[in-house]
Amino acid sequence: MSELGLTHVYSGKVRDLYEVGADHLLMVASDRLSAFDVVMNESIPQKGRVLTAMTNFWVHEFATVPTALVSCDPAVIEEYVPGFLDRRAWHGRTMLARRAEMLPLECIVRGRLAGQAFDEYVAKGTVHEMAVVEGLRLTDPFPAPMFTPSTKAATGHDLNISLDAAADLVGRDLLDEAQAVCLDLFARAVSKMAAAGLVIADTKFELGFVDGRLVVCDEVLTPDSSRIWPADQVRSGETPPSFDKQPFRDWLSDQPWDRTPPPPTVPDEIVAVTSERYVAAYDRVTGQSLDHWYGA
């Protein structure tokens, strides 16, 4: 944004990145909604605030783990970006972060069988090309959480890979360190979620290096990066309701759309219920109200 003296670096499906000097980035989470790498024309109210607030919550829960996040507080951001306090539309959806050298892996941890892992398991009996016990059904827990990396594709879709393939990309020692960090965070999240009556099926972490140290970057345990289910509605072999864009996915699966632009028009009622799911996720997980978060 030229009026704030920021240089635009990148726009993804959800986030816009701006350069703040040589060492920091401003990450602004929009309300954009995407599916199959196509951004819908409609936005989901409060979605960007939920993603930012949830990340902030987990970063502070994981206080002993280094992170790239500096602050989400508009007053703190103002110190780095003069004029930010006047840009109220960005309050609550913006993270000031240290610039990191990103690990070229999506660091996924899976506690239960779902999503792409379920599809592969049904077809081949494996998950990310790795052997898994027989006889599992949809939503069943693995004997132990699995670290299941994927590639980071500049264009197109990420590719699920095995641990051996990931080691070829980043080296065995670095992979072992990333795996240990992510499994530790996942175990802590499972415990916190359970206390709130929730199950976390899987989540994706982003890791990178700041000053030569491996740190957690970008969003952390949000409804966009995780499958979060109400524990009392998880049944083996059935798809439980989830605190994310599941209502939108369900609606979209019934549409005669070929998954290429232009996307179909999303009805107002689907937009509304999806927004409610995101807000409910924050309230339920954190025990706090989104009304008390920046930008309300």
Summarised one tens digit per residue, pLDDT across range 221-240 is: 999 999 999 999 999 999 99
Dist. CA 267–CA 42, nearest whole Å? 9
| Rounded Cα gap, residues 27 and 15, in angstroms | 6
The model carries a pTM of 0.94
d(CA 8, CA 144): 42
How would residue 27 be classed by pLDDT, with cut points 50, 70 and 90?
very high
For residues 265 and 267, what is the distance between their CA atoms, to the nearest angstrom? 6
pLDDT tens, position by position, 240-287: 988 888 889 889 989 999 999 999 999 999 999 999 999 999 999 999
pLDDT classification of 36: cutoffs 50, 70, 90 = confident
Contact between 177 and 90 under an 8 Å Cβ cutoff? The reply is no
Model confidence over 115-163: pLDDT tens digits? Answer: 999 999 999 999 999 999 999 999 999 999 999 999 987 655 789 999 9
Q: Which residues contact 195 (CB under 8 A, 6 or more apart)?
A: none
pLDDT for res 244: 82
Tokens of 21: 């000097």
Residue among 43, 38, 13 at smallest CA distance from 257: 38
What rounded mean pLDDT belongs to the chain? 95
Which domains, from first to last, does the chain contain?
Answer: 1-99 (3.30.200.20), 102-233 (3.30.470.20)
Which tens digit of pLDDT belongs to each residue from 60-99?
A: 999 999 999 999 999 999 999 999 999 999 999 999 999 9
Report how far residue 50's alpha carbon sits from residue 29's, in angstroms, rounded to the nearest whole number. Answer: 9
Assign 107 a pLDDT band (cuts: 50, 70, 90): very high
